[in-house]
Amino acid sequence: MNVLWILLLPVAGIALPVLMARAGRTVTAWVTALPPALALIVLLQRAPEVFAGEIPTFSLAWVPLLGLNVSLHLDGLAFLFCLLILGIGLLIILYARYYLSERDNMGVFYSYLLFFMSAMLGVVLSSNLLQLWLFWELTSISSFLLISFWWRNSDARKGARMALTVTGAGGLALLAALFLIGDVTGTYELREVLAMGDVVRASDRYYLILTLFLLGAFTKSAQFPFQFWLPHAMAAPTPVSAYLHSATMVKAGVFLMARFYPVMAGTEAWFVAVSLTGMATMLLGAYIALFRHDLKGLLAYSTVSHLGLITLLLGLGTDLAAVAAVFHIINHAVFKASLFMAAGIIDHESGTRDMRKLNGLWKYMPWTATLAMVAASSMAGVPLLNGFLSKEMLFSETLHQDTLGALSWWIPLLATAGGALAVAYSLRFMHDVFFNGEPIDLPRTPHEPPRYMRVPVEVLVVLCLLVGTFPQFMVGTLLSTAAGAVLLGNLPEYSLAIWHGFNLPLLMSAVAVLGGGILYLNRRHLFEFQMQFVDRDAKYVFEDLVQRFIGRVTLLHRWLDDGSLQRAMFLLVLLALVVSAAPLFDLMQMVGSHPQLPINWVVGFCAAMLVAATFITLWWSHRRLVALIALSVVGLIVSIAFAYFSAPDLALTQLSVEVVTILLFLLALFFLPQRSPEIDSPLSIIVRDFSVAAMFGSVIGTICYALLTRPLDSISDYFIANSKPGGGGTNVVNVILVDFRGFDTLGEITVLGIAALGIYKVLAQMRVYMPAADINGHRWANDRHPVMLAVVSQSLLPLALLVSAFIFIRGHNLPGGGFIAGLITAIALIQQYVAHGVVWMRERMPLNYLAFIASGLLIATLSGMGSWAFGHNFLTTWFDYFKLPVVGKFELASAMVFDFGVYLTVIGATLLILANLGKLTTSDRLRLGDD
C-alpha cells in the first residue's frame, strides 16, 4: 500500500469519534483506534522494504512554482517515528477510554488526538521542507487543543497558551530557517537538501540558518532556556501528557535535529550550541525534577532532562553518539509513556498527585507499583533495562571527544552528575510513592485500576525489559535503519550487547547509581537548601509578559482606530500619500519623450469648465443641491473628454451612467438633510485636510503627467489585429469586453447584480425621514406629475427603446453594446417613473427586476458554457455571416447572446436600485421587502 495511506487514514478518521460519540464510550474508542491500527498495518507491511534500505516515496506537484509539493518518504527515521506515534498512540487510546470520566466529551478528545497524531505523522513523513513546516505548526495547534481540553480550568488555558506561544514562535523561526535553506540549496525537497549539506555549511548564512533552526527545535523540545512551557502543559489530561511528552510533541524537536543532522551538524558551532544546551537542560531538568512534589511535575522535568540528554548526544557530533541518540529516543518514549500512565492511574485511583500525601501505595496497588518501579528503574538506568543501554552509550561517547580541549573531562563528569540526579529522582518516585510509611489523608482509598487501563502500561514495561535484555534481537534492525537514515548510511560499528566488560562507562554508571542513592538519602538537607530560593512560577511571569504585550497592542490599536471613520479615512489617505509619493523622489525626469498633442481652445475651455465646476462642488458642498448640479457638469465634461480622446464607447457609457447617478443622488438627497453645516470642522482640521488633499492631487497629477509623456508599449496590437478575424467585430473595445476578456465582464455584471440585491435588502423595512417642504420652506407642488412631462416621456419611450436596440445591435462593430444599451433602456424606463409615478408604472409594466438580473446572468453564463458543447473553452465565441433576401448580409455571433445577458443585468440592476428608492416616497414603501 502507498505510504500516503499512513498519513491519510488518521486524517480521514479525525471526524469519526465526534460522529460516533453517541454510540457509547467503548464504541467510540474502538472507532478511534481503527484508523491508526490500519495505518500501523500499512506501515508494517512496508517494513521489509525499509529495512532493506529502500525509501518508499509519494509525491504530487501542488504549487511547483513555489517549490510546494505534497511529498512523503518513509526512510528509517520516519519509520521509527511512525511506529512510535502509531504504536504508543493506540495504547493511549485504550488508556484514555478508562481515564476519561463520564463528564468529559470523549468524542472531541479522540478527535483532537487523531488530529494531533495526523500532524505528527505529517511532520515525520514529509520530504518537502515547507510541507514539513505546515505539519509542524499543526502539531502546535492540535497540542494546544489537547492541553486545553479541560478548558474550564485556568491552569489548562494558561499552560496551553504558553505552549502554543513558545512552540508557535519557534515554528516561525524554523520557517525562516527553511526558507533560507531553500534559498541556499535552490530546492525545498528534503532528499535533495540532505545531499547538499556541504553547500549549506559552507554558505555565509550558515550561522543565521543554524540559529533560527535551533530556535525552532529547542522551543519544541523544551531545551534551556525554553524549558518552562513543558511542565505547565501538564495541566492536560494524563493520556495527553503521556503521549505528547514521551513519543511525540517534544520529540518533534529532536526529530528535527536528527532529520537535518547531515545538513547542519559537524561544525564547531553546532557542537557548542547543541551539546552545551543539551547538557544544561539535562542537569537543570534533573535537578528541578528532584524537588517537585507533583508526580507529573517530576516526570515533566525528567522529560526535559532526557530531552537534554538526547540533544547532548546529537550535539557531540560523532556517529556513535547519533546512534545513541536514536536509541535513547526509542527507550525514553517507551519508559516515559508507561510512567506517565502509571502516574495517571495513581492520580485516578487515589485522587491526588502530591507526593507528600502519597506514601506506601504498595499495599493498595502492588501490581501497578511493580510496573511503575520497573519503568522508573529504566529511567534511572538500571542494568537489564533499556534505559541502561542508551545511558551507557552516552557515558562512553562523552569520554571520546575532545572539543573542549584540556577541559574535555568536564563533559563525562557532568554527564555522570546528571545520571546521579536521574537516579535520585527515580528513587524518589519509587520510594516516596510506594513505600515511606502510610498515605496521608487521600481523597479516596486507592486500589488497582480497571483491568484494561493497566494493559498499556504492561505492554510498555514488558518492552522495557525485553529491549533491556535482548537489545539486538528486539530493536537491532530498527535502530540501525533509523540511525542509518540520520547518518545517510555511514553507520559506525557498534554492538548492542549488555555486557562490555569492566570499563570506564560501567564505572560511571556505578558512580551515578551510588551518587543518586546518597543524594536521595540526604534529601532532607537538599530540600532545606532549595527552600531558600524563591520559586517563581513561570506561568505568572509569562502571563504577565503576555498581558503587558496585549496592553501595548491595545493602546496602539486604540490610537489608530478610536471608532471614528473620519479619522481612519484620514490615516488611510495619509498612508496612501506616503506610499505613492515616495517613488517620485527617485524619478529624475518628469517629462518623458512621448510626443505631446498641441492644446486648442476647445480643450482649454472644457478644462476650465471642469476646474470651475469642481471648485463650485467644493465651495458650495454645504448647499447640497448646488453641489450636485456642479457635479453633473463635471461628469458631463468627463464624458466629453472621453469622446474627444477617441473613446466613443466610454463617452456613451459615462453619459448614461451620469444621468442615472445624478437621478439617484437627487432621490437620496430627498431623504437626507438638505444642507451640511457650512463649517463642519475646526479651521485647523479643514486646513489639514485640504493640504493633504492638495498634496495627494499634485502627486497623482504628476504621476499622470509622467505617464502620459512616456512612450507606450501596449499588448493591444494583438487585440486590434485579432478583433475582426477572431472575434468577428470591428469595435475592438466591445470585442474585448464580450470576447477576449469575457470572463472579466461576467464577473463584473455579477458584482453589479449583487450590489443591486444588497441595496434592495438595505432598503427593506426602512423608516424614512421625509421633508414636508423644500430647503426654503416651500411646500411641494400639488401637481405631482405634470401633464406635459407625462405626455412627452410616454411618446418618447418607443423611440428610446428603438435607440437602445440599435445601439445594442451595432455594438459589436460600432460604438455601443450591451452596457450602453442597457443603461439607455433603464433611463427610458426611469423617465416613465419620474413622469408618472410608481403606481402608474406598476399597473402598466409589472416588471420584476430581480428576474431581469437573474436571467441576464443566466444567459451570459449559459452562452459561455455553450462552447463546452463544441469542445472549446468557456466563453469561446462563434460567429458566421448569413444572407437574407431583404436584409442582406448580416452577422450572427454567440458573443451577442452574452452581450444580451449583460444588457438584461444592467437594466435589472439599475432599475432595482432606482425604482425601489423611488418607491420610498410613496405609500408603497410599506410593501417593500414583501415582494
Per CB under 8 A, which of residues 795..814 are in contact with other proteins?
Answer: 813-814
We find the least distance from the C-beta atom of residue 698 to other proteins, in angstroms, to be: 6
Using the rule CB under 8 A, is 602 a contact of other proteins? no
Among 15, 531, 700, 865, binds other proteins (CB under 8 A): 700
Contact flags string 519-558 toward other proteins, x per CB under 8 A: ----------------------------------------
CA–CA gap between residue 201 and residue 194 (Å, rounded): 12
We find the least distance from the C-beta atom of residue 901 to other proteins, in angstroms, to be: 14
Amino acid making up residue 778: H
- In this structure, the number of other CB atoms found within 10 A of the CB of residue 570 comes to 15
The stretch near other proteins (CB under 8 A) out of 151-159, 353-361, 703-711, 771-779 is 703-711
Among 23, 545, 569, 865, binds other proteins (CB under 8 A): 569
CA–CA gap between residue 560 and residue 723 (Å, rounded): 51
CA–CA gap between residue 416 and residue 422 (Å, rounded): 10
Contacts 24+ apart (CB under 8 A), 54-63: 55/191, 56/3, 57/3, 57/127, 57/191, 58/2, 58/3, 58/4, 59/127
Residues 695 and 582 sit within 8 Å (Cβ to Cβ): no
| Shorter beta-carbon distance to other proteins: residue 422 or 746 | 746
Contact flags string 863-902 toward other proteins, x per CB under 8 A: ----------------------------------------
Using the rule CB under 8 A, is 426 a contact of other proteins? no
The strand pair at 68-73 and 57-63 is best described as antiparallel
Among 87, 418, 815, 901, binds other proteins (CB under 8 A): 815
We find the least distance from the C-beta atom of residue 772 to other proteins, in angstroms, to be: 17
Contact flags string 647-686 toward other proteins, x per CB under 8 A: xxxx--xx--x--xx--xx--xx-xxx--xxxxxxxx-x-
Residues 334 and 371 sit within 8 Å (Cβ to Cβ): no
CA–CA gap between residue 708 and residue 699 (Å, rounded): 14
Residue ranges in 95-134 that form contacts with other proteins under rule CB under 8 A: none
Among 116, 229, 719, 849, binds other proteins (CB under 8 A): 719
Using the rule CB under 8 A, is 641 a contact of other proteins? yes
| Shorter beta-carbon distance to other proteins: residue 521 or 672 | 672
* Cα 55 to Cα 46, 119, 482, distances in angstroms: 10, 21, 12
The residue to which cell 435588502 is assigned: 761
The CA R_g of the chain, rounded to the nearest whole Å, is 39
Q: 751 Cβ partners below 8 Å, 6+ apart?
A: none
Using the rule CB under 8 A, is 614 a contact of other proteins? yes
Using the rule CB under 8 A, is 603 a contact of other proteins? yes
- Bridge partner list, 779: 773
Among 744, 773, 845, 927, binds other proteins (CB under 8 A): 744
Using the rule CB under 8 A, is 624 a contact of other proteins? yes
We find the least distance from the C-beta atom of residue 627 to other proteins, in angstroms, to be: 6
The stretch near other proteins (CB under 8 A) out of 42-50, 257-265, 542-550, 619-627 is 619-627
| Shorter beta-carbon distance to other proteins: residue 107 or 811 | 811
Using the rule CB under 8 A, is 723 a contact of other proteins? yes
Q: 367 Cβ partners below 8 Å, 6+ apart?
A: 448, 454
| Shorter beta-carbon distance to other proteins: residue 507 or 591 | 591
Residues 332 and 306 sit within 8 Å (Cβ to Cβ): yes
* Cα 284 to Cα 276, 391, 811, distances in angstroms: 12, 17, 82
Number of residues counted as binding other proteins (CB under 8 A) = 116
Burial of 362-394, coded b for 16+ CB within 10 Å and e otherwise, reads: bebbeebbebbbbbbbbbbbbbebbbbbbbbbb
Among 225, 450, 489, 697, binds other proteins (CB under 8 A): 697
Among 627, 838, 841, 896, binds other proteins (CB under 8 A): 627
Among 78, 752, 830, 853, binds other proteins (CB under 8 A): 752
User: Cell numbers at residue 468, please?
Assistant: 533491556
We find the least distance from the C-beta atom of residue 212 to other proteins, in angstroms, to be: 40
Q: 178 Cβ partners below 8 Å, 6+ apart?
A: 129, 130, 132, 133, 188
We find the least distance from the C-beta atom of residue 673 to other proteins, in angstroms, to be: 6
Using the rule CB under 8 A, is 26 a contact of other proteins? no
Q: What are phi and psi of 60, to 5 degrees?
A: -145, 125
Using the rule CB under 8 A, is 587 a contact of other proteins? no
Contact flags string 756-775 toward other proteins, x per CB under 8 A: x-xx--xx--xxxx------
We find the least distance from the C-beta atom of residue 610 to other proteins, in angstroms, to be: 5
| Shorter beta-carbon distance to other proteins: residue 590 or 892 | 590
Q: 469 Cβ partners below 8 Å, 6+ apart?
A: 384, 498
Using the rule CB under 8 A, is 290 a contact of other proteins? no
CA–CA gap between residue 742 and residue 596 (Å, rounded): 34
Residue ranges in 472-501 that form contacts with other proteins under rule CB under 8 A: none
Using the rule CB under 8 A, is 378 a contact of other proteins? no
Q: Note the helical H segments in 229-363.
A: 229-232, 238-244, 249-259, 261-264, 268-270, 276-291, 295-316, 319-350
We find the least distance from the C-beta atom of residue 778 to other proteins, in angstroms, to be: 20
Using the rule CB under 8 A, is 566 a contact of other proteins? yes
Burial class of residue 648 in the structure, from the number of CB atoms within 10 Å of its CB (0-12 exposed, 13-18 middle, 19+ buried): middle
Using the rule CB under 8 A, is 731 a contact of other proteins? yes
